[in-house]
Amino acid sequence: MVESYYLFSSGELKRKDNVVRMTAPDGRFKDIKIEMTRDIYLFGETSMNTKCLNFLSTNKIPMHLFNYYGYYTGSFYPKEVNISGNLLIRQVEHYTDETRRLIIAKEIIYSASYNIYRNVRYYHQRGKDLETQLDQLKALRKLISRAKNIQELMGIEGNIHQVYYTCWAIVVNQKIDFQKRVKRPPDNMINTLISFLNSLVYTSCLSEIYVSQLNPTISYLHSASDRRFSLSLDIAEIFKPILVDRLIFSLLNKKVISESDFDTESNFCYLKKNAQQKILKAYNERLEKTIKHRELKRHISYRHLMRLECYKLIKHLMNDKNYEGFKIWW
């Protein structure tokens, strides 16, 4: 029920009346109801003071920062409150032990690829000819269980994505020359959209990890390098097909987003401000969307599924119940 705030306008962020107030230069303001806020996304140029940061920290609200071009630049991650030394030890144990790490990594790829498969199957059923890709994906998924190390697993994942991306040209009704994933800088509309939405999924995952006891820097599929919250990359992997890819398909096929939403002079690298807002609105709606959970027997939002993923991982790490990644079931 708690909300995420997306602040696009520039101005000042300050503590006032025990809430955080964003004031635009023209005097308009927005009060962020502190008790009901999950996280804050900043897209504009904002100045703030330590008082405000301290206040956010005591209220355990992470803040995600994006630069002028909409690229994720970092997060204000408040002091960890849900910490568990016990779990941290387990997390590290599972990371250093190659076989145990591989079990988790495999499960992540296995679920992610299943969700990818379902995406392709969905469009196949709706009259797009994707027969060959479906067969290829099926064959590649069989290799996952046989992978002997992380590198091999990453290789399979790469292949899966390669096949997956060949489907995109067929699925998307707009004429976009999309062959493969290109980052830094993205070279066409789809790549830009993927980059932008991926970074949003990472931040959403990070916000959910913050609530759980997990340490966000220790990951299993991705290497736990410095200066990155790589566990959120792991968890995001599973949700990207449902949250990012499906959203891109629907945005492009319904012509919500078209060429005019991009800065053409920069080779479609940058999204215009109003396009960013449109996408964020759609993304936020998607996260709030609920489904009936089979085991829990209640309505769960897509966002909450990420949290559940953290809990499942914790259970696995504590040898309570084997981790089984989220696979779309509807």
64 known member of a binding site: no
Beta strands in the chain (DSSP E): 3-7, 11-16, 19-23, 29-32, 37-42, 46-48, 63-66, 72-76, 262-263, 270-271, 290-292, 299-301
By CB under 8 A, is residue 5 in contact with other proteins? yes
| Shorter beta-carbon distance to other proteins: residue 19 or 103 | 19
By CB under 8 A, is residue 204 in contact with other proteins? no
Question: Nearest distance from residue 2's CB to other proteins, in Å?
Answer: 8
Question: Nearest distance from residue 121's CB to other proteins, in Å?
Answer: 31
By CB under 8 A, is residue 4 in contact with other proteins? yes
By CB under 8 A, is residue 26 in contact with other proteins? no
200: nearest Cα among 65, 68, 59: 65
CB-based contact 10:46 (threshold 8 Å)? yes
Residue 106: how many other CB atoms lie within 10 Å: 20
By CB under 8 A, is residue 304 in contact with other proteins? no
Residues contacting residue 139 through CB under 8 Å, at least 6 positions apart: none
237 known member of a binding site: yes
Distance CA 274, CA 22 (A): 19
- For other proteins, which stretch binds (CB under 8 A), given 2-10, 137-145, 240-248, 252-260? 2-10
H helices present in 20-149, as ranges: 50-58, 85-96, 98-125, 131-144
CB-based contact 106:144 (threshold 8 Å)? yes
Partners of 290 in the β-ladder: 301
Question: Nearest distance from residue 203's CB to other proteins, in Å?
Answer: 15
Question: Nearest distance from residue 6's CB to other proteins, in Å?
Answer: 5
Contact characters 207-236, other proteins, x per CB under 8 A? ------------------------------
**Token output for 1:** 């029920």
By CB under 8 A, is residue 125 in contact with other proteins? no
Helix, strand, coil abundance in the chain, percent, nearest 5: 50, 15, 35
By CB under 8 A, is residue 283 in contact with other proteins? no
By CB under 8 A, is residue 18 in contact with other proteins? yes
Annotated binding site: 157, 222, 237
Chain positions contacting other proteins, by CB under 8 A? 1, 3-9, 17-19, 22, 24, 30-31, 33-36, 277, 280-281, 284
Provide the annotated binding site for Mn(2+).
157, 222, 237
